[in-house]
Amino acid sequence: MKLKQIIVLVFIMTLMMVSSCTLIGNKDTKVAPNIIFIMTDDHAYQALSCYNDALIETPNLDRISDEGVLFSQSFVTNSICSPSRAVLLTGKFSHENGQRNNGQIFDGSQVTFPKLLQDAGYETAMIGKWHLGSDPSGFDYWDILPGQGDYYNPDFNKMGETRRVEGYVTNLITDAALEWLENRNTDKPFCMLLHHKAPHRCWMPDTTHLYLFNDVKFPLPDNFFDSYEGREAAAAQRMHMKDFCPVNDLKMLDKEGEIEGTLRKYFERQVGRMNESQRKAWDKAYAPEIAAYKKEKLEGKELLEWNFQRYLEDYLRCITSVDENTGRLLDYLDEHKLTQNTLVVYTSDQGFYLGEHGWFDKRFMYEESFRMPLMMRLPSRIKKGEIEQLVQNIDFAPTFLDLAGLAIPTDMQGESLLPLLEDQNTDDWRKSIYYHYYEYPGPHSVKRHYGIRTDRYKLIHFYNNIDQWELYDLEEDPGEVNNLFGQKAYEELSGDLLMQMIALQKQYNDTTAVDVQLNNLTEHKY
């Protein structure tokens, strides 16, 4: 073969490789999109102005929903960090992927969507908070925070090598993401998981945001002074504004050491990571707050309200960093002409309480921690507007595989969201969703429970060392303070929801919950 013929042949082969990679599994002419999945840790939908602008403006995050879709009913299957991450990767409930609680080591030998995308020709990356114990698998590149990670000058573990990086964690994770995008293999479509640490407890803001919201008085939620009447499990939690550690959670680290707090040593380690100028800026900002706290010695309701304001200031400052850094990423996509064919997803590993029921943290199946914020943008392919159908984090993996034109493994338990995104006929979409939380005994003392939610109603069963059912009409009682279970007028509805829930437990193969119900039925002879 002559040299010229060889060159032509190599050129044609290269073209064929590029086009087969770009289409990935799509049989038709649809081009496989790039995927950027941005997930924060504990970002409440109440703190996103595309959902509600009562607390904060998030103009950059809102761009995703303005130019794409906003899911108004998106939910988690188990409202806690590592279980949520395992559901994302596997498309399966906790009882199927094995990750029921924080602290368990994720079985990385399982089938996950990044592995399937990688096998099909995507370049894959995982950057930021991983929090699954085992090393990431299915990624061409990973650069993660060990464990929970730190806000200031954090360690990163890049493909097995740990180093300390100077700076603020949300900026650094975004820097790492942009650097990877810049150096990626441009012949392949890519899938990047960008997982922020923020705004996880202990809500440490960047030095550039330490004075934000200083003059703002945030409105108290209607159920802030909840009495938990008729709700035994809600009364037993330890995640109330009164349970805050003043030093760690409210940043009252006085030099004299007079302010006590169970997490003081932990927080001293956090600020101990700061360099001299960071520490100087930090101490200057909090000194007046600390002095006032010591002088005023607030008690009772006044102290709770002060705790609430103090908590929200820092939490929302952390969100501002996330918002600004998401803006940097979206700008990069614009500048590099990647916007049209890149799916940008924004979500959090679950919701969070911002004073509702008097709480912080998550875990419960009540709305604020059960709901996840979720926005998606892919201008070349998906519609704009709001999606009201019930969706869950089991749906992420099937959706990404479907978008790439790949087969969805039959044992994945979620549904592809593509029909909703493309405005196809979705009359037969699911009408109810299922939840199961396990981490008890555990931090914050939230008892084990499972339940079902429809558009309007929610039935929950708390079990293990308690046996209590709760029923809510979300239209009449959005704050979930009025447990209707056991009232005569609601017996038929409760029975109907119970039957629907048993059907979901069978569909999802949640035998533990079925066993619990059978035991309770036998013990209590209902």
Residue 319 or 404 having the CB closest to Ca ion? 319
Residue 42 or 314 having the CB closest to Ca ion? 42
163 exposed, middle or buried (CB, 10 Å; 0-12, 13-18, 19+)?
Answer: exposed
Using the contact rule CB under 5 A, the part of the chain among 333-341, 343-351, 422-430, 512-520 near Ca ion is 343-351
Residue 81 or 193 having the CB closest to Ca ion? 81
Residue 195 or 231 having the CB closest to Ca ion? 195
**Between β-strands 34-40 and 190-195, what pairing exists: parallel, antiparallel or unpaired?**
parallel
What distances in angstroms separate CA 429 from CA 416, 419, 497, one per listed residue? 11, 9, 18
Chain residues 254-313 in contact with Ca ion, contact rule CB under 5 A:
none
Query: Please, which residues bridge with residue 75 across strands?
Result: 371, 392
What distances in angstroms separate CA 401 from CA 34, 84, 115, 393, 487, one per listed residue? 12, 19, 10, 14, 45
What does the alpha-carbon distance between residue 491 and residue 388 come to, in Å, rounded to a whole number?
Answer: 28
H or E segment at 127? strand 123-129
Chain residues 53-92 in contact with Ca ion, contact rule CB under 5 A:
81
Using the contact rule CB under 5 A, the part of the chain among 20-28, 33-41, 144-152, 188-196 near Ca ion is 33-41
Chain residues 202-231 in contact with Ca ion, contact rule CB under 5 A:
none
Residue 41 or 356 having the CB closest to Ca ion? 41
Using the contact rule CB under 5 A, the part of the chain among 42-50, 184-192, 423-431, 468-476 near Ca ion is 42-50
Side-chain half-sphere of 514: how many Cα atoms within 13 Å? Answer: 13
Using the contact rule CB under 5 A, the part of the chain among 37-45, 310-318, 416-424, 479-487 near Ca ion is 37-45
Q: State the nearest-atom distance from the C-beta of 84 to Ca ion, in Å.
A: 7
How many chain residues touch Ca ion (CB under 5 A)? 4
Residue 62 or 349 having the CB closest to Ca ion? 349
What does the alpha-carbon distance between residue 34 and residue 276 come to, in Å, rounded to a whole number?
Answer: 41
Contact with Ca ion (CB under 5 A) among 42, 323, 356, 368 = 42
Per-residue burial over 251-290, b if 16 or more Cβ lie within 10 Å, else e, is: bbbeeeeebebebbeebeebbebbeeebeeebeebbeebb
What distances in angstroms separate CA 409 from CA 63, 124, 413, 515, one per listed residue? 33, 19, 9, 28
Q: State the nearest-atom distance from the C-beta of 350 to Ca ion, in Å.
A: 5
Residue 349 or 356 having the CB closest to Ca ion? 349
Q: State the nearest-atom distance from the C-beta of 348 to Ca ion, in Å.
A: 7
Q: State the nearest-atom distance from the C-beta of 361 to Ca ion, in Å.
A: 9
Q: State the nearest-atom distance from the C-beta of 43 to Ca ion, in Å.
A: 9
What does the alpha-carbon distance between residue 295 and residue 273 come to, in Å, rounded to a whole number?
Answer: 29
Give the count of beta carbons closer than 10 Å to the beta carbon of residue 328. 14
φ and ψ of 351, to 5 deg = -85, -165
Residue 196 or 209 having the CB closest to Ca ion? 196
Give the chain's end-to-end CA distance (angstroms, integer): 84
Tokens 């059907």, residue located: 503
What does the alpha-carbon distance between residue 417 and residue 410 come to, in Å, rounded to a whole number?
Answer: 16
Residue 90 or 517 having the CB closest to Ca ion? 90
Q: State the nearest-atom distance from the C-beta of 214 to Ca ion, in Å.
A: 27
Q: State the nearest-atom distance from the C-beta of 14 to Ca ion, in Å.
A: 44
Q: What tokens does 202 get?
A: 């202990």
Q: Which residue is nearest to Ca ion (CB)?
A: 81
Residue 34 or 321 having the CB closest to Ca ion? 321
Query: Please, which residues bridge with residue 346 across strands?
Result: 38, 375
**Would you give the DSSP letter of residue 125?**
E
Q: State the nearest-atom distance from the C-beta of 403 to Ca ion, in Å.
A: 25
Contact with Ca ion (CB under 5 A) among 23, 34, 40, 41 = 41
Spatial neighbors of 101 by CB under 8 A, at least 6 apart, are 80, 82, 83, 438, 439, 442
Using the contact rule CB under 5 A, the part of the chain among 40-48, 140-148, 447-455, 476-484 near Ca ion is 40-48
**Would you give the DSSP letter of residue 90?**
H
Residue 325 or 347 having the CB closest to Ca ion? 347
Query: Please, which residues bridge with residue 449 across strands?
Result: 437, 462
Using the contact rule CB under 5 A, the part of the chain among 36-44, 167-175, 353-361, 432-440 near Ca ion is 36-44
Asked if residue 398 lies in contact with residue 412, where contact means CB atoms within 8 angstroms, the answer is yes
Query: Please, which residues bridge with residue 259 across strands?
Result: none
Q: State the nearest-atom distance from the C-beta of 200 to Ca ion, in Å.
A: 6
Residue 286 or 438 having the CB closest to Ca ion? 438
CA 23 to chain centre: 30
Q: State the nearest-atom distance from the C-beta of 503 to Ca ion, in Å.
A: 29
Using the contact rule CB under 5 A, the part of the chain among 38-46, 171-179, 286-294, 422-430 near Ca ion is 38-46
CA 75 to chain centre: 10
Q: State the nearest-atom distance from the C-beta of 80 to Ca ion, in Å.
A: 7
Q: Is 446 in the site for Ca ion (CB under 5 A)?
A: no
Asked if residue 121 lies in contact with residue 26, where contact means CB atoms within 8 angstroms, the answer is no
Q: State the nearest-atom distance from the C-beta of 96 to Ca ion, in Å.
A: 20
Q: State the nearest-atom distance from the C-beta of 120 to Ca ion, in Å.
A: 30
What does the alpha-carbon distance between residue 235 and residue 426 come to, in Å, rounded to a whole number?
Answer: 40
Contact with Ca ion (CB under 5 A) among 96, 140, 349, 439 = 349
Residue 195 or 251 having the CB closest to Ca ion? 195
Residues lying near Ca ion in the complex (CB under 5 A) are found at 41-42, 81, 349
